[in-house]
């Protein structure tokens, strides 16, 4: 398993790396903007092609889920992936999906489909096939 912190993610315009909610991994977390189309994107490396486990650390203190489209290398591989409420911005959970990666560098992006934007994103853990 390799951890990619959200501090090293690429965020759509206006997104910030924050550290005001404790309990996150690393030095902070990604706070993407509250807007449809707002995203966080990581570049991850796979030693070989195949199905990988993608585990997103996140927090969502609101009552509503925060749905995103999950894309790999520009292709949506899972739409309407909902990040459930965690109860507090300091309560972190993980959401895991499986997706195919190519050998070498891959972009993994979560793009909000509602005006709430994505949940606060802490990290992406990638486990090789
Ligand atoms: C609050 C919280 C942020 C969070 C935001 C949101 O402002 O402090 O960390 O990103 O809500 O609703 O997304």
Tell me the per-residue pLDDT of 58-109, one tens digit each, with 9 for 90 and over: 999 999 999 999 999 999 999 999 999 999 999 999 999 999 999 999 999 9
| Contact in structure between 35 and 68 (CB atoms under 8 Å) | no
CA angle, 73 then 31 then 50, to 5°: 25
Predicted pLDDT of residue 128: 83
Q: What is the pLDDT of residues 24-59, one digit of tens each?
A: 999 999 999 999 999 999 999 999 999 999 999 999
The pLDDT of residue 129:
63
| CATH for 18 | 2.60.120.260
Q: Please report where in the chains the tokens 């739409």 appear, as a residue.
A: 79
- Probe ligand 1: pick from 24, 120, 121, max atoms within 8 Å of CB? 120
Q: Determine the pLDDT at residue 19.
A: 98
Ligand 1 within 6 A of CB of 89: yes
Which atom, in ligand 1's list, is nearest to the CA of 31? 10
C-alpha to C-alpha distance for 47 and 122, rounded to whole angstroms: 24
pLDDT of 78 reads: 98
- The pLDDT of residue 127 is above 80: yes
Nearest residue to 81 (alpha-carbon basis) of 100, 107, 62, 58: 58
Does the pLDDT of residue 18 top 70, yes or no? yes
- For the chain, the average pLDDT equals 97
Q: How far is the CA of 100 from the centre of ligand 1 (A)?
A: 31
If one counts the domains in the chain, the total is: 1
Residue 92 CA, ligand 1 centroid: distance in Å: 13
81 within 8 A of 110, measured Cβ to Cβ: yes
Range of the domain at 112: 2-127
Cβ 106 vs Cβ 45: under 8 Å: yes
């Amino acid at each position: 398993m390799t951890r990619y912190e959200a501090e090293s993610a690429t965020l759509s315009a206006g997104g910030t790396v924050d550290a005001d909610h404790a309990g996150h991994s690393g030095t902070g977390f990604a706070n993407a903007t509250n807007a449809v189309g707002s995203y966080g994107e990581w570049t991850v490396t796979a030693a070989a092609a195949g199905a990988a486990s993608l585990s997103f650390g996140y927090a969502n203190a609101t009552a509503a889920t925060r749905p995103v489209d999950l894309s790999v290398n520009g292709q949506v591989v899972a739409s309407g992936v909902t990040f459930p409420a965690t109860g507090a911005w300091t309560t972190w959970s993980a959401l895991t999906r499986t997706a195919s990666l190519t050998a070498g560098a891959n972009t993994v992006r979560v793009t909000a489909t509602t005006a709430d934007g994505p949940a606060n994103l802490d990290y992406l853990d990638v486990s090789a096939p």
